[in-house]
Amino acid sequence: MGVYDELGLQPVINAAATLTALGGSRMPPCVVDEMVAAGRSFVDLREMQLRAGRRVAELTGNEAAYVSSGAAAGIVVAVAACIAGTDPEKIGAFPYLEGIERCEVIVHTSQRNGYDYAARQTGARLVEVGASAAELATAISERTACVLWFAGAHYAEGALPLAEVVAIAHERGMPVLVDAAAQIPPVANLWHFTRELGADAAIFSGGKGLRGPQSSGLVLGRREIVDGCRANGNPNHSIGRPMKVGKEELAGLVAAVEWSLAQDEEALLNRYEAAVQRWIAGLAGIPGVTAERDYPSEAGQPHGRAIVRFTPPCAWTRDEVVKALWTGEPCIAVGVPRWQDDAIALNPQTLEPGEEEVVLAKLKEILATAPVDAAAVPS
């Protein structure tokens, strides 16, 4: 905790999610060790990127793999690969794309979100479609570079299933990219979208469920797209040049994939479920407070979380509870469901064993007191 103390920062117990704003996730010791070891020497970075990709592809059964500086950067270079491939002249056309005919990316209207900015920053134009096979088929034209599909139960409504999207796109010779940034667990998703459902590339965060470096990500899939990612990425002078992946992140992500594949995922999910049930049982009987299991989690992963509501006669509002947890000792972050103004979400994925008890104890301690005037608490 030395650097946090030195900078006057308070460590956070994260009961929210694998949020970038909170640092993603915690790296296991083996990942940290590999990053430290990699930092002790210089290396041919292009060759390391190539070999790290080969190793990850081998581990996941994919044709090829590319390590990006996060999932959003993975979207940038994967879309760039679909537009320009490895052609130096086309690579030099970003972001204005003058003379480039194939510069449209098709997305479902219901899946539009802040992360599609990563596709737009290439200069590509997004073309929206609804949940109609005919509409998707009609939208694909000689200007289409790819179809971008966002994974997760929270993106499913209003969109065609991926298998159907792949079938329609492939019939017309179009690649399909899947943003699966937070879709681990299950770890099988590292090959499910590509090998089993036929997507041309799937993009993951390295710093969420994989528990690798926060500034890392993965593009897994067809060799042609991965070759294009490398050509459009660091250290080449291309659109991906600012999205630097260092030797430390390359080493750390390979170690994280190896570590993740070696874990007992069933036991991990059972631990998550036990934490959720402990919260529900521990908050039972508090007037005006209800806790129930919600499934799947906030990004659609296959584990539960606890939704805790505060209604009269509870003296606390949801926002007062969130602020009291954040400004207390220890500092605790919780989820704030956008569709409910009286509830918090407690997610076990980002907690170490025992921290679920700390969260429960602090929440009960707060609810046993009178609320502090929220206006008096510094924002």
On the 0-12 / 13-18 / 19+ scale of CB atoms within 10 A, 268 is middle
Pairing between β-strand 217-221 and β-strand 201-205 as defined by DSSP bridges: antiparallel
Tens-digit pLDDT profile for residues 111-168: 999 999 999 999 999 999 999 999 999 999 999 999 999 998 888 899 999 999 999 9
Residues in contact with 150: Cβ distance below 8 Å, sequence separation at least 6, in sequence order? 107, 108, 111, 113, 115, 159, 178, 179
Write down the pLDDT at residue 373.
Answer: 56
* Total residue length of the chain: 379
The residue ranges of every structural domain in the chain are 2-20+265-376, 42-262
Write down the pLDDT at residue 375.
Answer: 43
Tens-digit pLDDT profile for residues 22-55: 999 999 999 999 999 999 999 999 999 999 999 9
**Fold (CATH) for 42-262:** Aspartate Aminotransferase; domain 2 (3.40.640)
Task: Assign domain 2-20+265-376 one CATH number from 3.40.50.970, 3.90.1150.180, 3.40.50.10680, 3.30.720.200.
Answer: 3.90.1150.180
Q: What is the mean pLDDT of the chain?
A: 95
| Residue 151 tokens, joined | 């994974």
Once rounded to an integer, what is the mean pLDDT over residues 218-237?
Answer: 97
How far, rounded to the nearest angstrom, does the alpha carbon of residue 102 sit from its chain's CA centroid? Answer: 28
Once rounded to an integer, what is the mean pLDDT over residues 219-247?
Answer: 97
* Separation between Cα atoms, residue 127 and residue 27, nearest integer Å: 38
Whether residue 338 has pLDDT greater than 90: no
In Å, how far are 29, 41, 348 from 12, measured between CA atoms? 19, 33, 14
Residue 177 pairs with which residues in a beta bridge?
148, 201
Query: pTM score > 0.85 for this model?
Result: yes
Write down the pLDDT at residue 1.
Answer: 57
Pairing between β-strand 144-150 and β-strand 104-108 as defined by DSSP bridges: parallel
